[in-house]
């Protein structure tokens, strides 16, 4: 099913308003008290950061964790996160008690299988949200590129992050972003000056040790000035298969004519929780190529929100999610067409097995001024088991009268005719199943321009479904 909507006439802008806050009621000791206490124990930072944190905390307390009554969370209950008490991983160790770096517990060798076989890529490693200089390597960057940990940039007192931090990732209606903002401490701060071109990708590798139900709030800020260009990978991984919670926020500012290829690779532990928001603002002629891969987590939610603020800015949001067992993986995207002449393309695919549950919600808003918008959105899902489930909700809201927008979603099972065709050539059912599943995902993987990334994701998809078939 797919439909084409070309609406004439403009409507009241007020419809764009989002839903209000919903409070979650928890019994017993309120985990929000733990967040409140941890918040108060944070160490001193420059006043502007403290103000921002306080705004985040106040908003988080006002919003509370979202419930399924909140339209943005209709198919995903965050009760497992809301009802659990997580301990601040970083602040308890490095930030408050100064027990020293937690990075000592993670060895470089542990990370090798997560680096796409590319030692030459600039890699910034964060352990439980805290930057590890020892594990990182990012030599040889041009002087037009500044790379540092956010904590260091804040400490340095130059105020360089201040212009953008907290200004792109809005938290008025986003409880998890508000919570992250309340705990801003560390993450990556990347600045590309005008015309800077970073040849090798920059890999931000977030490692959770997975000890003691810890929570971390990685916060990244990427500022790409005009005509600059880089490929940036954010990986979220774990060393041990434990229960923890990663609540990450990345803000990206794209200047005129800048291009960022952004890859979000979510490979958390299957016992963990992950909520990650990447929010982007795009100036005139800028290009965003986003690819979101989600395979980990017991409950995981990835938000990619972009705003096409300037004329002829373009974005491509692609994604692939693979779920199995009792996993719940939710993807939400939002594309705000604010300026005219902007094309946006989106393709998300999901493969769901076991008793897992996948969710896709893609919103495209075309504002009244955004004439000549060319938007295309699709979401296709493959159910491999009768107990797997997916909820898909593409949403198109158009308030301009001269636009071309299409959207569509499909949910299907393996094609029995294709299965028989492969069988009739001597290929057994299990191999055929792997091949067809891989084939389903192949076209979205094909869109990846970064070859080692493409190869690795192909390998992961094949390995995942080969092992499922053998089981």
Partner 1 sequence: MLEINDLHAGIGDREILRGITLSVNVGEVHAVMGPNGSGKSTLAQVLAGNPSYEVTKGSVSYNGQNLLEMDAEVRAQNGIFLAFQYPVEIPGVSNAYFLRSAYNEIRKANGMEEIDPLEFLDLVEEKLKLVDMDQAMLSRSVNQGFSGGEKKRNEIFQMAVLSPRLAILDETDSGLDIDALRIVAQGVNTLRSPENATIVVTHYQRLLNYVIPDFVHVLANGRIVKSGGKELALELEEKGYDWLQNAGAGAGAAA
CB atoms within 10 A of CB 363: 18
Of 13, 6, 57, nearest to 336 by C-alpha is 13
Residue 153 or residue 445: which is nearer to partner 1 going by CB? 445
**Among the listed residues 133, 421, 449, 463, the single contact to partner 1 using CB under 8 A:** 421
Residue span binding partner 1 (CB under 8 A) among the ranges 106-114, 146-154, 327-335, 412-420:
412-420
Report how far residue 133's alpha carbon sits from residue 94's, in angstroms, rounded to the nearest whole number: 14
**3 state DSSP class of 368:** coil
Stretch that binds partner 1, among 276-284, 320-328, 330-338, 419-427 (CB under 8 A): 419-427
For the bound state, the minimum distance from the C-beta of residue 116 to partner 1, rounded and expressed in Å, comes to: 22
State how far Cα 140 lies from the chain centre.
28
Question: CB-wise, 144 or 376, nearer to partner 1?
Answer: 376
**What is the full DSSP assignment across 1-15?**
-EEEE---S---GGG
Annotate 203-250 with DSSP letters as a single string.
EEEEEE---SSEEE--EEEEEE-TT-EEEEEEEEEESS----EEEEEE
Figure out which of the listed residues 124, 215, 436, 457 binds partner 1, where binding follows CB under 8 A. Answer: 436
Q: Which is nearer to partner 1, 25 or 424 (CB)?
A: 424
- DSSP label at 113? G
Residues 256-281 as b/e (b if ≥16 CB within 10 A, e otherwise) read bbbbbbbbbbbbbbbebbbbbbbbbb
Cβ partners under 8 Å of residue 88, min gap 6: 38, 41, 95, 183, 214, 215
Nearest to 156 by CA among 40, 41, 54, 49: 49
Options 77, 431, 447, 455; binder of partner 1; rule CB under 8 A:
431
Considering the complex, state which of residue 391 and residue 430 has its C-beta at the smaller distance from partner 1. 430
- The least distance separating partner 1 from the CB of residue 434, rounded to whole angstroms, comes to 10
Which CB atom, from 172 or from 446, has the smaller least distance to partner 1? 446
3-state helix, strand, coil in the chain (%, to 5): 25, 35, 40
Cβ closer to partner 1: 175 or 436? Answer: 436
Segment lying near partner 1 (by CB under 8 A), choices 103-111, 319-327, 364-372, 431-439: 431-439
Should residue 425 be labelled a site residue for partner 1 when binding is judged by CB under 8 A? yes
B/e letters for 38-75, b = 16+ CB within 10 Å, e = fewer, are bbeebeebeeebeebbebbbebbbebbbbbeebebbbb
Q: Which two tokens stand for residue 430?
A: 């299990």
Binding window for partner 1 (CB under 8 A); candidates: 312-320, 392-400, 415-423, 449-457: 415-423
Q: Which residue has the tokens 């198919």?
A: 75
Q: Are 357 and 390 in contact (CB under 8 A)?
A: yes
- Of 147 and 436, nearer to partner 1 (C-beta) is 436
The tally of CA atoms less than 13 A away on the side-chain side of residue 171 is 30
Least distance in angstroms from the C-beta of 388 to partner 1: 20
Which 437-456 residues touch partner 1, going by CB under 8 A? Answer: 438-443
Comparison of 63 and 432: residue with beta carbon closer to partner 1: 432
Closer by beta carbon to partner 1, 77 or else 431: 431
> Site mask, partner 1, residues 372-391, x = CB under 8 A?
--------------------
Residues 13, 423, 449, 451: which binds partner 1 (CB under 8 A)? 423
Rule CB under 8 A: is residue 470 a binding residue for partner 1?
A: no
* Residue 160 DSSP label: G
- Residue 145-174 contact track with partner 1, rule CB under 8 A, x = bound: ------------------------------
Site for partner 1 contains 427 (CB under 8 A): yes
Q: What is the DSSP letter of 197?
A: B
Decide whether 79 or 462 has the Cβ nearer to partner 1: 462
Q: Is 422 in the site for partner 1 (CB under 8 A)?
A: yes
Nearer to partner 1, 16 or 442 (CB): 442
Please say which residue, 178 or 445, places its beta carbon nearer to partner 1: 445
420 is a contact residue toward partner 1 (CB under 8 A) = yes
Of the candidates 25, 98, 158, 424, which one interacts with partner 1 according to CB under 8 A?
A: 424
Cβ atoms of residues 429 and 464 within 8 Å = no
- Residue 181: in which H helix or E strand, if any? helix 175-182
Three-state secondary structure call for residue 70: coil
Q: Which stretch binds partner 1 (CB under 8 A): 185-193, 269-277, 365-373, 414-422?
A: 414-422
| Size of residue set near partner 1 by CB under 8 A | 24
The only residue of 418, 459, 463, 467 in contact with partner 1, by rule CB under 8 A: 418
Residues that bind partner 1 (CB under 8 A): 415-418, 420-429, 431-432, 435-436, 438-443
């Amino acid at each position: 099913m797919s439909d084409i909507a070309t609406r004439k006439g403009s409507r009241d802008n007020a419809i764009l308003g989002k839903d209000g806050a919903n409070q979650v009621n928890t019994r017993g000791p309120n985990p929000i008290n733990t967040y409140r206490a941890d918040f108060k124990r944070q160490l001193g930072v420059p006043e502007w950061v403290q103000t921002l944190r306080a705004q985040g905390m106040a908003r988080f307390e006002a919003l509370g964790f979202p419930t399924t009554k909140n339209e943005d969370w209709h198919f995903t209950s965050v009760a497992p996160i809301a009802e659990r008490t997580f301990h601040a991983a970083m602040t308890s160790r490095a930030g408050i008690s100064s027990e020293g770096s937690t990075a000592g517990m993670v060895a470089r060798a542990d990370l090798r299988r997560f680096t796409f076989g590319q030692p030459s890529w600039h890699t910034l490693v964060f352990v439980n949200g805290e930057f590890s200089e020892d594990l990182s390597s990012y030599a040889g960057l041009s002087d037009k590129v500044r790379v540092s940990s956010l904590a260091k940039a804040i400490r340095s007192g130059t105020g360089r992050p201040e212009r953008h931090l907290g200004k792109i990732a809005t938290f008025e209606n986003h409880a998890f972003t508000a919570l992250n903002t309340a705990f801003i401490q560390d993450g990556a701060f990347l600045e590309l000056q005008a015309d800077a071109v970073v040849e090798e990708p920059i890999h931000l590798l977030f490692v959770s040790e997975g000890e003691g139900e810890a929570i971390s709030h990685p916060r990244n800020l990427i500022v790409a000035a005009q005509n600059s260009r880089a490929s940036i990978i954010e990986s979220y991984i774990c060393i041990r298969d434990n229960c923890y919670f990663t609540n990450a926020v990345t803000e990206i500012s794209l200047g005129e004519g800048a291009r960022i290829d952004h890859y979000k690779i979510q490979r958390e532990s299957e016992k963990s929780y992950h909520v990650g928001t990447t929010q982007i603002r795009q100036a005139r002629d800028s290009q965003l190529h986003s690819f979101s891969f989600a395979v980990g987590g017991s409950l995981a939610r990835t938000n990619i929100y972009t705003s096409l603020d300037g004329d002829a800015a373009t974005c491509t949001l692609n994604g692939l999610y693979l779920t199995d067992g009792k996993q719940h993986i939710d993807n939400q995207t939002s594309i705000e067409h604010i300026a005219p002449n902007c094309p946006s393309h989106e393709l998300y695919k999901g493969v769901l097995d076991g008793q897992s549950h996948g969710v896709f919600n893609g919103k495209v808003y075309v504002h009244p001024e955004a004439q000549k918008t060319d938007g295309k959105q699709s979401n296709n899902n493959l159910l491999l088991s009768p107990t797997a489930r997916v909820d898909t909700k593409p949403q198109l809201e158009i308030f301009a009268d001269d636009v071309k927008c299409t959207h569509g979603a499909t949910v299907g099972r393996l094609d029995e005719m294709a299965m028989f065709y492969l069988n009739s050539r001597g290929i057994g059912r299990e191999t055929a199943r792997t091949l067809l599943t891989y084939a389903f995902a192949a076209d979205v993987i094909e869109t990846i321009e970064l070859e080692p990334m493409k190869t690795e994701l192909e390998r992961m998809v094949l390995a995942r479904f080969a092992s499922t078939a053998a089981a």
